[in-house]
Amino acid sequence: MTTLTGKTDRSETPASQPKPIILETQKLTRRFGKFTAVDNLNISVEQGEVFGLLGPNGAGKSTAIKMLTTLLPLSTGKAILAGYDVTHQPNAVRRVIGYVPQALSADGSLTGYENLLIFAKLYEIPFSRRRQHIRDILAFMGLQDAANRLVRNYSGGMIRKLEIAISVLHQPQILFLDEPTVGLDPIARTQVWQLVKQLCVDYGTTIFLTTHFLEEADNLCNRVAIMQQGAVATIGAPSDLKASLDKPNATLDDVFIHYTGDQLTSGVSYRDTARTRRTAQRLG
Ligand SMILES: Nc1ncnc2c1ncn2[C@@H]1O[C@H](COP(=O)(O)OP(=O)(O)OP(=O)(O)O)[C@@H](O)[C@H]1O
């Protein structure tokens, strides 16, 4: 079955077949002056995987995503996405990725449909297919009834869904989500995570995300990397990481604390930050 991403539905792929690596970094490094924000990052992500980049504030997660999405030049190292080199083939990389940044990116003064229309034009989706394509995506996101409402009247969860809809309009192979559920209430968070999972299951989209919600990362991610001070402290399937701790019924929180010490440079604990962000209002 051809899908939104233009790829084959994963359900048709035999489970035993090894999946290709769609994203690989080799010694990915970013310095700001003398400070190293991302330090020799080596990560590989399989096609169709949900991969989570975790870590305390300032660990380097957003900087890594900005390099992978061509928004920030690499200091040293290499990153290959869907066969394209981010340094030497940035335009090709941009065509195969979608990106939802932390900050609000939808235009509140336009309707949901108009927001999508602008990007459909930017992505050069042919006029004959534009209308139907936007309708299909709005339906997938459960936003069809809100299509003609101004986005400034959307809830935070609806805006996030619209931003994800915009980011997959051009059928990216890899979707980057930088803290997609920050500031959302628990119900909206669950809806967004379900959508992300659905994108992956139905359309084979590879998801690369950051989050501060470890329980959700545990449920959603096939593998996670925990970053600490720019470097990968550990990487693996949540179940394997939990099993590797000498603690019965260990959670991903336990794994996180084990590798990071659960302390921010400011002295505020990671859990406090996650709690604060849980109640934050994205739209002010
Ligand atoms: N443009 C910049 N100039 C100087 N330092 C920067 C710049 N961007 C990021 N940094 C620093 O790099 C480090 C990593 O920041 P980054 O935003 O990648 O962390 P993060 O893990 O995404 O944190 P958070 O969870 O708070 O989003 C931080 O110490 C930050 O202050």
Nearest Cα to 265, choosing from 58, 84, 91, 34? 58
Whether 3 maps to a domain, the answer reads no
| Beta strand ranges found along the chain (DSSP E) | 21-32, 35-46, 50-54, 76-81, 84-85, 97-100, 174-178, 206-210, 223-228, 231-236
CATH code of the domain covering residue 244: 3.40.50.300
| Residue 168 Cα distances to 92, 119, 134, 203, angstroms | 16, 10, 10, 11
Q: Is 224 a member of any domain?
A: yes
Alpha-carbon separation of residue 79 from 73, 121, 176 (angstroms): 11, 29, 14
Taking CA atoms, 128 is separated from 22, 119, 125, 148, in Å, by 31, 15, 8, 20
Nearest CA to 210 out of 68, 73, 86 is that of: 68
- Is 0.90 topped by the overall pTM? no
Residue 192 lies in a domain: yes
Look up residue 194 and give its two tokens: 């379900």
Q: What whole-number distance in Å separates Cα of residue 12 and Cα of residue 149?
A: 38
Residue owning the nearest CA to atom 16 of ligand 1: 60
Q: Which domain holds residue 224?
A: 47-107+171-279
What pLDDT score was predicted for residue 11? 44
Report yes or no on 265 lying in a domain.
yes
Name, in order, each residue with C-beta under 8 angstroms of 232's C-beta and a sequence gap of 6 or more: 41, 42, 43, 225, 226
Residue 12 covered by a domain = no
**What pLDDT sits at residue 185?**
84
CA of 62 to the centre of ligand 1 (A): 7
The alpha carbon of 207 and the centre of ligand 1 are apart by a number of angstroms equal to: 22
Distance from residue 40's CA to the centre of ligand 1 (Å):
16
Of 28, 30, 31, 62, best ligand 1 pocket probe by most atoms within 8 Å of the beta carbon: 62
Give the ligand 1 atom nearest the CA of 102.
Answer: 27
Range 35-69 burial, b when 16+ CB lie within 10 A, else e: ebbbbebebebebbbbbbbbbbebbbbbbbbbbbb
- Which residues are paired to 26 by β-bridges? 78
Residue 152 maps to a domain:
no
Q: What pLDDT is attached to residue 216?
A: 86
Q: Give the gyration radius of the chain's Cα atoms.
A: 19
Instruction: Provide the residue-wise pLDDT of the chain in tens; the chain has 284 residues.
Output: 333 433 444 444 455 677 899 999 999 999 999 999 999 999 999 999 999 999 999 999 999 999 999 999 999 999 999 999 999 999 999 999 999 998 888 999 999 999 999 999 999 899 999 999 999 999 988 999 999 999 999 998 899 999 999 999 988 999 999 998 888 888 888 888 888 888 888 888 999 999 989 988 999 999 999 999 999 999 999 999 999 998 999 999 999 999 998 654 444 445 554 444 444 444 43
Q: Which of 63, 100, 224 to mutate to test the pocket of ligand 1 (most atoms within 8 A of CB)?
A: 63
pLDDT at 201: 86
Q: What is the pLDDT of residue 249?
A: 92
Encoded tokens for 243? 């099993």
Nearest CA to ligand 1 atom 24: 57
Q: Dig out the tokens for 178 from the structure.
A: 């930088």
Q: List, chain by chain if needed, residues with CB within 6 Å of any ligand 1 atom.
A: 32, 37, 55, 57-63
What pLDDT is stored for residue 268 in this prediction? 44
User: Which residue puts its alpha carbon closest to atom 5 of ligand 1?
Assistant: 32
Tracing tokens 């890899």 back to the chain, one arrives at 174
**Bridge pairing between strands 97-100 and 174-178:** parallel
221 located within any domain: yes
Total domains in the fold of the chain: 1
Burial class (CB in 10 A: 0-12, 13-18, 19+), 178: buried
Per the domain annotation, does 13 fall within a domain? no
